[in-house]
Structure 1
Amino acid sequence: MSLNVKSTVKLNNGVDMPRFGLGVWKSDNATATQSVRWALAHGYKAIDTAKQYGNEAGVGEGLTKGLAENGLKREDVFLTTKIFNGDEGYQSTLDAFEGQLKRLQTDYVDLVLIHWPVTDKYNETWRALEKIYREGKARAIGVSNFDINRLRDLMKHASIKPVLNQMEFNPLEQETDIRAFCSKHNIELEAWSPLGHGEALTNPQIENLAKKYNKSTAQVIIRWELQSGIITIPKSTHEQYIIENADVYDFELSDDDIALINGLNLDKRSIWYGDFQWNGNHDGNVDAVDQWDN
């Protein structure tokens, strides 16, 4: 499979999206700014953030500076953000999204996702995203963390089909059923936590493959995801790893090695609906935007 850092996939609305980019979860604003600047300097074409991460302002600053520093235009970078659980609903989504654009220092995003399918609200949230899309404030709209039942329900009520479902995906959590459903309906699958919260990085079989290809375990995993047709957005706050994560285009995993990693699947999700208060679990996580001192 011929791939490079600029490789794209055509979404079901005709927009080309990079297959590889930078994630910024758990980065404060200052760190996100620097990470985005490094990523753009080293050829990255996609950046993924969310209101819940609390670093949209940092990403916006990094994007503005990174474009200027590297002679790039806004259209050279594919920017994704997500609707916060606490903002879901029709008018509340529209109102909140305007603030997100201001923090990101842009008048449009390339992709906006519903971050989680908040019970009894996600269909109205989707209606708001359809309006945002029609107004040209987003080039594409999609979802994140939608299981098959919720995705099927959304599609039943929607007038525009989602282009993408961003899911936890890595060698230990391969979302087999959801991946098959998305493929059937021409919806791309994008990986969050593509390195498996670090656990997959120390898997002995992946370590053996890293030795075989003279690559890091992270590089082997990223290459496996790219060869498997998954859009991937590994997070790093260190320039060395930002460079290394993108250095996956000078080797190709064999079919047998792809099959070996496919066989590591444990369906081991780190969090799911029952962990959240919005799904009726009063002991679940509080839905809040991560706040940072800066």
Structure 2
Amino acid sequence: MKSVTIGDRQVGPIGLGTWHMGDQPQIRSQEIKALQTGLDAGITVIDTAEMYGEGRSESLVGEAIQPFKREDLYLISKVYPWNASKTQLPISLDHSLKRLETDYLDLYLLHWSGDVPLEETVLALETAKAAGKIRDWGVSNFDTADMEALWRIPGGDRCVTNEVLYNLGSRGIEYDLKPWMQRQKLPVIAYSPIAQGDSLGDDFLANKLLQDIAAAHHVSIFQLLLAWSIREGQTLAIPQSGSADHVLDNLKAADLVLTEAEWQALAKAYPKPTQKQPLAML
């Protein structure tokens, strides 16, 4: 299985997303089982945020990881932009750590750019890192200009990743953002890597090309889309699933190998952008 390097840590190319998880008490046990099934199968990364259910997702993750050795996991959470000040970020971080029932995060992300000056946020993140409460920090939903602005700030180049929307139907970052990140040796964390219907078209499950390629490899279209997102070995994909079976299906996508002709057919049907596009966000 390929690995992705984030900072000085190598992780598998598929993690566990948790957006919308923890919101429905009636399926809490099912969602915990899904996360634990993924961890039992060798997934190490769990991605969450204080925004997800206003902390309910973090609490769910905190309960799910209790049977596992903390050092074997790679926990990611995110701070609201309005909580990213030198006074508020430490408070938000402590709340996240308490909900996650852990002493530190492997990665802490600024969820998107806001009104707090980036210089102040970088200082707050570096202070948290020096205190041992986070191992690394990064950003989310930053476009190329945002990343360039971050790099001009003292310490801004200590950012280790950018988490953005990326899938076969949303390739906008490939015009300039992804190449810029590659030059800086920054991996992409792809949220919603199993494309939404509105980005591939509402009938994407009936698409003959996707059907034919998936059938040739005895996989689902969803597994094919996930395999596409991690094809280059520089992307960590974090699909969300509250089903244990779906989590295991997602993991199998890491081993899917397509022919060059199949890759080219997908590229022709869903081409990379030829001009700048606004950063896609959900």
TM range (shorter): 0.7 to 0.9
| 1:26 counterpart residue number | 20
Could you tell which deviates more after superposition, 37-46 or 189-198?
A: 37-46
Q: Provide the alpha-carbon RMSD of the alignment.
A: 2.2
2:33 and 2:60 map into 1 onto residues whose CA distance is 8
2:37 and 2:197 map into 1 onto residues whose CA distance is 22
**Paired residues of 1:222 and 1:245 also in contact (CA < 8 A):** yes
TM-score by length of 1: 0.81
Q: 1:132 offset after TM fit, Å?
A: 1.3
TM-score by length of 2: 0.85
In structure 2, stretches of 5+ residues that fail to align are none
2:208 and 2:49 map into 1 onto residues whose CA distance is 33
* 2:184 is the alignment partner of 1:190: no
| 2:253 counterpart residue number | 248
The partner residue of 2:224 within 220, 224, 229 is 220
Percent of aligned pairs sharing the same letter: 27
| 1:262 counterpart residue number | 267
5 Å matches for 1:29-108?
30=28, 32-54=31-53, 55-64=57-66, 68=67, 72-108=68-104
2:70 and 2:161 map into 1 onto residues whose CA distance is 22
Q: 1:135 offset after TM fit, Å?
A: 1.9
The partner residue of 1:237 within 237, 242, 247 is 242
5 Å matches for 1:119-268?
119-159=115-155, 160-174=157-171, 175-176=173-174, 177-199=176-198, 200=200, 202=205, 203-229=207-233, 230-263=235-268, 264-265=270-271
**Paired residues of 1:172 and 1:265 also in contact (CA < 8 A):** no
Q: 1:169 offset after TM fit, Å?
A: 0.1
2:48 and 2:216 map into 1 onto residues whose CA distance is 34
Q: Number of matched residues?
A: 261
1:52 and 1:79 map into 2 onto residues whose CA distance is 15
**Paired residues of 2:41 and 2:248 also in contact (CA < 8 A):** yes
Q: 1:256 offset after TM fit, Å?
A: 2.5
In structure 1, stretches of 5+ residues that fail to align are 276-294
2:271 and 2:123 map into 1 onto residues whose CA distance is 35
Of structures 1 and 2, the one with the larger relative CO (CA 8 A, separation 6+) is: 2
**Paired residues of 1:108 and 1:136 also in contact (CA < 8 A):** yes
Q: 1:133 offset after TM fit, Å?
A: 1.6
* Partner AA of 2:166 in structure 1: F
| 1:290 counterpart residue number | none
Could you tell which deviates more after superposition, 216-225 or 257-266?
A: 257-266
Cα 1:19–1:249 change in 2 (3 A) is closer
Cα 1:128–1:259 change in 2 (3 A) is farther
